[in-house]
Amino acid sequence: MNVADLRPRPHAVLEKLVLFEYRITCRTGLHIGAGKSADLAGSDLPVMRDGGGRPLLPGSSLRGVLRAGIESFSASLRLDAVRSRAEKPAPGLPPDFVEGWTKLTLVDRLFGAAADRSGAFSYGSRLQISDGLCTEDVAVELRDGVGIDRERRTAAQGVKYDLEVVPAGTRFLGRIRFKNPADYELGLLAQALWMLDQGLLLLGGKSARGLGWMQVEVTSPRQLDPLALLLREVPAAAEPEGADFGPVETQLGDLFGSLQQLADAAAVVENV
């Protein structure tokens, strides 16, 4: 494993795929809103639901929390300091791609970066997170809230509302797919999942009201290479309901070492 493997990773080349399942259980209530309801008999602030009416954890919501966690973690340890020191020539790749890649932050190389103007460099995400599906019927809670007068810091007159909350104990099951990850990138993902499990990151809205505390469990990652795909020797993935889940630090523990090495390298560069 080489944590300094910061070479460009074009989407056209498939070196490996890493896949694993996740199971997220609500330690407290959860509110991921679906916008204001137009139903006069419904809640003012309903939660997201799938086609069957069950609560849904959008992959975009989980992705956003993990990205925010990785960005803050990377900035705090100044991990991007290692980029210019570890870059290597990339023969065979278009120069404009290599130039654009070199300017991407470590986080953008995972989650992608959109061009800020026409014709500028953009890069698609190599990390995909599925929606988390609830496989059991859940009775969503209804809670009251009031608007706050910001000047008086008291409840505003006539601004009462209610919101739906997914109750504690609700489980969501989904999958994570990572194309051509470096070991330190897998370490960053493992770190963010662990931070979510520890309550260092919170999921959804209304966290000031105590919502959004999650338990995170994952399966051991499966690594697939092109030859295995060609020969169709890929072991069938267990359905999330029957997968063997465990704590993040147990199932992904080997990945934290490469992240620690990257952090040590960044510290050395900062002190030079």
Domain ranges for the chain: 17-28+59-137+170-271
Task: Output the six-digit token pair for 195.
Answer: 């931070």
C-beta neighbour count of 62 within 10 angstroms: 27
Give the pLDDT of residue 196.
98
How far from the centroid of its chain's Cα atoms is residue 101's Cα? 21
- The full length of the chain comes to 272
C-beta neighbour count of 96 within 10 angstroms: 9
Instruction: Using a pLDDT cut of 90, give the percent of the chain over it.
Output: 51
Give the pLDDT of residue 202.
97
The whole-model pTM stands at: 0.87
Mean pLDDT is highest, among 36-40, 151-155, 185-189, 225-229, for 185-189
Pure H helices in the chain: 59-77, 83-86, 95-103, 106-111, 183-197, 226-230, 248-251, 253-271
Task: Output the six-digit token pair for 243.
Answer: 């997968």
pLDDT at 189 > cutoff 70: yes
> Which CA distances in Å does 62 have to 17, 65, 243?
20, 5, 20
Q: Is there a contact between 228 and 236 (Cβ–Cβ < 8 Å)?
A: no
> Which CA distances in Å does 27 have to 24, 47, 111, 263?
9, 17, 27, 31
Band of residue 125 on the pLDDT scale cut at 50, 70, 90: very high
Report the range of poorest mean pLDDT among 66-75, 87-96, 117-126, 187-196. Answer: 87-96
Q: Rounded to an integer, what distance in angstroms lies between the CA atom of residue 35 and that of residue 44?
A: 8
Q: Rounded to an integer, what distance in angstroms lies between the CA atom of residue 213 and that of residue 26?
A: 6
pLDDT at 262 > cutoff 80: yes
pLDDT at 43 > cutoff 80: no
Across the range 258-263, mean pLDDT stands at 89
Q: Rounded to an integer, what distance in angstroms lies between the CA atom of residue 234 and that of residue 239?
A: 15
Give the pLDDT of residue 151.
63
* Coil, strand or helix at 215: strand
* The dihedral sign for the CA sequence 118, 120, 126, 132: negative
pLDDT tens digit string along 242-255? Answer: 678 999 999 999 99
Band of residue 2 on the pLDDT scale cut at 50, 70, 90: very low
C-beta neighbour count of 209 within 10 angstroms: 14
